[in-house]
Structure 1
């Protein structure tokens, strides 16, 4: 297997950490970026020696540029970008303040643009690949999460638009759209509910497979899309949602008597 260099955002925990662990196990070089420096260092300490750590927010263009520069200085090139950094905030159009809207857009949409912009020259040189972690909320909507839903819808457009721009240069851009994933972000959101145990069951039951995803299940799809095995895929956002968006709401659970 050819050793590749992968930049991973949101690498301290959740899906990003799982992506880092999987690529480290495969012997790849890693550039890990996250705003939480302490958690990032703890993650990096478990992944071997071929790791560069860069602390900063994807909402800061200089932070992404520093991460790319550090990786190029250490490894000499860049072959892939796995963008996973994101935040969840709540509110409808009246409740959502401009400050909250701007915060969510800065991290969840503009951040994806900025880190890709910083990485693209090196990825053009290597004819590399990008995977942006979106959400099924980029394809449908949950009540009370307007800014998040809008940002994730925008990310799907970012995937499609960049894929068309970069195809002739050999850079592939795809996305993944997870359902609920057992990450600290999801657990923190559930903890806000007056009855977290009941909400845990609702979250699991809304997936036809009967449970939320494990981070490593999403990471496996990301790794495939970054790999040469996905060499004819670009502009695609892959649902990894346990069947959530395939279910017809309100459909009968059993075949009616006399039905075909």
Structure 2
């Protein structure tokens, strides 16, 4: 039986950042329980990862599904020592055009889902002095136009990081977050495909990052793996930007070559 301390529940694990997290952890010798609503993609990911990975098909919006994933971790690996929450959806609309149904959909996955999976996992995490990392977004620190529900949910997710970190410190559980910029995931490619001029938007997205490109899932995963590890043993309540410098840039500031020389 595996060491429960080295077992991590990874949500949103069928593809994108969650999949990259699972790959990183298994490569480091960890065991993982992968949770996602996409059963076919999840099964494929688990097959590729081998015996240290098991699938738990379900939605973080359903508390019974999160409880089942934790139970599977106990059954297969003896317990649970980490949680990497990456499940999320992107929807668009402002305060007028966002329907109540769309609002509830986004909140149920992006914010309430994080609460529910953390709630299900926390007894095990307390027992094994584990760690939690929630994947938020730079839109939890700033905002783009026309994505109100997503922005609010990601702001709330960063609040969940801070609040849980304070509550769980005395229990030996660390809680941190990451706030990625644009990352080359299926969700980003889907969003770009909604634009009337996807090629132009592609270039804009790369150009808004000072490093000149979007991130890769594995680049976010490496930060998450660090925060889950004992190397980050004195970090809690922190949300780390992994954004290629987007929020460090002064918007509208002229480049040196654009300045008029006198």
TM-score by length of 2: 0.97
The secondary structure found in structure 1 opposite 2:89 is coil
Q: Distance in 2 between matches of 1:15 and 1:198?
A: 24
Deviations 1:184-236 (A, max 9, x none): 00000000111100000000000000000000000000000000000000000
Q: How does 1:29-108 map to 2 (within 5 A)?
A: 29-108=31-110
Q: Distance in 1 between matches of 2:134 and 2:91?
A: 19
Give unpaired runs (5+ residues) of structure 1. none
Offset, 1:26: 1.1
The residue aligned with 1:148 is: 150
Q: Distance in 1 between matches of 2:254 and 2:195?
A: 29
Q: How does 1:173-184 map to 2 (within 5 A)?
A: 173-184=175-186
* Large movers: runs of 4+ above 3 Å: 255-259
Aligned length: 258
Offset, 1:257: 5.6
Offset, 1:252: 1.2
Deviations 1:6-55 (A, max 9, x none): 10000000000000001111111110000000000000000011222100
Give unpaired runs (5+ residues) of structure 2. none
Q: Is 247-256 or 203-212 further displaced after alignment?
A: 247-256
Offset, 1:258: 6.6
TM-score by length of 1: 0.97
The residue aligned with 2:188 is: 186
The secondary structure found in structure 1 opposite 2:190 is helix
Q: How does 1:1-20 map to 2 (within 5 A)?
A: 4-20=6-22
Deviations 1:58-81 (A, max 9, x none): 000000000000110111111100
